[in-house]
Amino acid sequence: MFILTDLVNGITIELTDMVNGLGILRAKGAFRMFAKFLRLDSEKQDRIVNAVMKEFAQKGYERASTNEMVKEAGISKGLLFHYFQNKKQLYLFLVDYCYDMVVAEFYKKIDLTEPDFFKRIREAVHIKMEMLTQYPDIFKFMEEAFLEDAAEIKPELEKKKREMTDINMGKFFEGIDYSKFRADVDLKIVLKIITFTFEKMSEEVLYKAKFAPGHEINYAEIRQEAEQYFDVLIKCFYH
């Protein structure tokens, strides 16, 4: 579903499987190779995750230095590799780790019983903004991760994205009352246009925030801007 994905890369994804609270990859056992790390007390886990995330987010995959990470995390060089084997695995682990965290959080909050399409989207936009404020580092990292195209991790990263972006709009839109949409145009195309609109809007918001002094986001303004889009879309696509 678009709301989460456009937090990070603007690709619509299917979140249904995650609703139960298990991450896709965790459920698939991909975390087994990081068992050593996951057995640590959460204070240390957090210290490491934050240090690593900070470095990757700041410098990207290639330039990020494992030396800096261990210095920041206060652990030895060997230990990082003891947990994560190599830089690539460390990176891919972190992508999953963050993704799972974000998805689980989102689904705790969204109300999936709301049948009106635009109301549901409106709520999702608000949840998204809340989370952006609460976990800015994670979103920064995720955003970079989905743009990352370092040769070494590209294939695995693309595969991971594909796993996470297995589009299934049918499921996402379950419970939505489609009778409100006008009948003279292709509904699938209409839904895509709406999705695209909010994704691009989000991108613009993030993009502008980057260049704003202090990178602060004016949420009130975004909501107002979103309402403008809601107004047009409802008028044009509902009958």
Binding site for DNA (CB under 7 A): 36, 39-40, 44, 63-68, 75-79, 81-83, 85-88
Report if residue 200 touches its own copies, rule: CB under 8 A.
yes
CB of 238 to DNA, least distance (A): 52
Among 105, 148, 156, 163, binds its own copies (CB under 8 A): 148
- Rg, Å, the chain Cα set: 19
Among 176, 201, 209, 217, binds its own copies (CB under 8 A): 201
Q: Where are the beta strands (DSSP E) in the chain?
A: none
Between CA 18 and CA 21 the distance in angstroms is 6
Among 151, 183, 213, 216, binds its own copies (CB under 8 A): 151
Report if residue 229 touches its own copies, rule: CB under 8 A.
yes
Among 182, 215, 221, 223, binds its own copies (CB under 8 A): 182
Among 46, 62, 111, 116, binds its own copies (CB under 8 A): 62
- The DSSP string of 106-145 is HHHH--TT---HHHHHHHHHHHHHHHHHH-HHHHHHHHHH
Between CA 110 and CA 104 the distance in angstroms is 11
Q: Find the length of the chain.
A: 239
- The DSSP string of 55-76 is HHHHHHHHH--HHHHHHHHT--
The contact set with its own copies (CB under 8 A) reads 10-11, 58-60, 62-63, 144, 147-152, 158, 162, 182, 184-186, 189-190, 192-193, 196-197, 199-201, 203, 207, 210-211, 228-229, 231-233, 235-237
